[in-house]
Structure 1
């Protein structure tokens, strides 16, 4: 048995998503102290930007005709898909960057699809928790309502394409404490932080019992 955890923050020492994911992981680990945790951090150990194209072209190139770069990329895609396929439970900690998902997370998704196949529900019925954090506010009634092009994509891939049994923990306003322009939102941000921590404890217990 093992838990797979993916982090995508480019600021691991001060990551809001990692803080919440850690709560989920600790709850799971408390119920499975002897189990392994397999971690991959895309922020500190990014995947090669050209690997997806190489893995994809390798799939319709005869084995004998593949370049070494194509073979390496195809092997990497298979490794990434295998990490998900073999996991018993999963945590994804994915921050919101530039109104969407970061390029290093998108590369990972594309490579998993290259390794597993475009229609493979690789996480079918597996319990998973998605932690996503956003610096500002993008909810209904906010000036930038509709600008969050990340959360919907994450849910589409994890829940609809890969068919995970997905729980989503979303925390907004993570930059309020540090930005003077967001001072009026600090109380609301603190409430959201507390709510996300509690949701993480609940999700971690559910993940452990699934």
Structure 2
């Protein structure tokens, strides 16, 4: 089993989302022996935002005639989408920045959301091609955002993106209210740790079924 561990917070040791992703990965490995882990730190190694050189993904004959910059950007996009597709489990650290996700996480999503690789358009509409994975999102927030809150463009966005590429098993480990005082912070971390135990349990039938396929 392959696990892709993604961090996006630039706060290093002060990052709660990094603390949570480490716990998720450690507990997953403890309950799923033999799991191999690859770590992608977007705070130190983020792909560039899409521009004229990186917008559009070209493989095979379509790559002919590309400039040096386009070839370099195309190779990076291919590397990132191949890494994502090879993973059985993806753990994503996603702090809320200004009601959404960090821009470096958005840049990664823009690279792996590729027509023909992770989704396709059909006569019936778009169809995801990256199903059969488990995604666990470590969501951290300074304030409180109840489910369905209009200001939440973080979890709602990630659920939409991963659903669009065909992933139906998306789990949220949420720690919110982290900036609202010591007691709310402690309660949030305790709740997140309980969620980690639940979402990394070895007897999860949906994970077993997905990985058998």
- What interval of TM-score do these two structures reach, taking the shorter chain for normalisation? 0.7 to 0.9
- 1:192 paired residue number: 188
Change (3 A) 1:196 1:53: farther
Question: Structure 1: 5+ residue runs without aligned partners?
Answer: 178-185
Give the match's secondary structure for 1:65.
coil
Residues 81-110 of structure 1, C-alpha deviations (whole Å, 9 max, x = no match) = 111111121211111101212211111111
- 1:181 paired residue number: none
Per the normalisation by structure 1, the TM-score is: 0.82
Pick the structure with more strand per residue.
2
Q: Are residues 1:25 and 2:29 paired?
A: no
**1:5-44 to 2 correspondences below 5 Å:** 5-44=5-44
C-alpha distance in 1 between matches for 2:151 and 2:46:
26
Question: Structure 2: 5+ residue runs without aligned partners?
Answer: 121-126, 208-213
Give the match's secondary structure for 2:137.
strand
Change (3 A) 1:46 1:10: same
Corresponding residue pairs, total: 198
Pick the structure with more helix per residue.
1
1:169 to 142, 161, 173: 173
Taking only aligned residues, the RMSD between alpha carbons, in angstroms, comes to 2.6
- Please, which moves more after superposition, 164-173 or 29-38? 29-38
1:127 to 109, 121, 134: 134
State whether residues 21 and 200 of structure 1, in contact with CA within 8 Å, keep that contact through their aligned partners in structure 2: no
Per the normalisation by structure 2, the TM-score is: 0.81
Q: Are residues 1:157 and 2:161 paired?
A: yes
State whether residues 4 and 87 of structure 2, in contact with CA within 8 Å, keep that contact through their aligned partners in structure 1: yes
